[in-house]
Amino acid sequence: MTKQHTPYRTQTVKMPAMLPLYVNAAMHSANVKDWKLSDVCLTIKGWRCDKAKLRSYCQSIGVNKVGGYLPPAYPQIISFPLQMKLMTRKDFPFKLLGLVHLSQSVTQHQPLDINSKLDLEVKFDGHIPHRKGVVFFLKTDVYNQGELVWEGRSGYLFRHRKIADADALKSTPLISDSDLATLSFPQPLKSALPITRRYAFASGDINPIHMSGITAKLLGFKKPIAHGMWLLSAALAKVVPANGNIAIECEFKNPVLLPRSLYIKTDQPIPASRFAVFNEDGEEVHIVGRIAYQEQQSN
């Protein structure tokens, strides 16, 4: 799939440092009067993988050996600073503190060699009404020599009563309760604060709610919570191959308070097509997902 012309205003940038972005995020306030999402598309040309950061990321999700391909969720991780840069612009209408990551999709059109030179693009991709506010989407596209090789779409909830829609329809669950009950093949998933910190420094997502009990409590949480993208990455490491052509949809449910014993269950062993992560007694669901496998095109 080749790159198409879009109405976005493209700005080529360098990968931003995260600490200043968090400072800007803390100071950013909402302005929902006649709000709209920016048409700016941020792009980075010629991104190359930092092997040390990739190794640390892999270790944080339970993968001890770095293979020849980027893990399926990794492009989403490395594009997060660009998302933050878009959301800390003065024209972004929503407050960043309190945003809830509701959903994530990943489409890998071909395996991404760790030595590839890639172009990254991040832009807003619409919004939908919600009973508690509005859900907006950020799209990440990855190109290799002009060919679209990877896509990601993140859904975030901004809660605000003035723009909430009490009549907004509930979305259809990715996996029904009856199907959740049929998932089996349990595998343990280790979650603890040292793991979360390793992931935080490898990914750049150093949000204080993930870093310590003290900083989490300052922001209203009883305990530090695991990153949603860590949870998805760790789950995918157990259920899909890194070198596949895959389409993944997931929904984030209850946050993981650290430390916690987790289990991932699937509809079948690798390659699975449905998965969910539960707490140790199976009473609480943290993430659910569906996976579709596509045939790899020959050159």
Mean pLDDT on 240-254: 91
* pLDDT tens string 124-157: 999 999 999 999 999 999 999 999 999 999 999 9
Q: Where are the alpha helices (DSSP H) in the chain?
A: 18-27, 51-60, 74-87, 177-180, 193-203, 213-218, 228-239
Cβ neighbors of 199 (< 8 A, separation 6 or more) are: 57, 60, 61, 205, 227, 230, 233
Residue 299 confidence class, pLDDT cut points 50, 70, 90: very low
Say if residues 124 and 139 touch (Cβ distance below 8 Å). Answer: yes
The mean pLDDT value of the chain amounts to 92
User: What whole-number distance in Å separates Cα of residue 204 and Cα of residue 230?
Assistant: 12
Residue 271 confidence class, pLDDT cut points 50, 70, 90: confident
Kindly indicate whether the domain formed by 9-294 is annotated with CATH number 3.10.129.10: yes
Identify the residue with better confidence: 56 or 269: 56
* pLDDT tens string 71-87: 999 999 999 999 999 99
The model's pTM is 0.92
Check whether 296 has a pLDDT greater than 80: no
Instruction: For residue 50, give Cα distances in angstroms to 198, 260, 271.
Output: 15, 30, 28
76 residue type, one letter: Q
Q: Given this model, what pLDDT does residue 274 score?
A: 95
- What percentage of the chain carries pLDDT values higher than 70? 97
253 — phi, psi (to 5°)? -110, -115
Residue 88 confidence class, pLDDT cut points 50, 70, 90: very high
Which residues does residue 275 pair with via DSSP β-bridges, in sequence order? 266, 289
* pLDDT tens string 192-231: 999 999 999 999 898 889 999 999 998 888 999 999 999 9
Check whether 164 has a pLDDT greater than 90: yes
Check whether 288 has a pLDDT greater than 70: yes
Mean pLDDT on 79-96: 97
Check whether 297 has a pLDDT greater than 80: no
Q: Indicate the domain borders of the chain.
A: 9-294
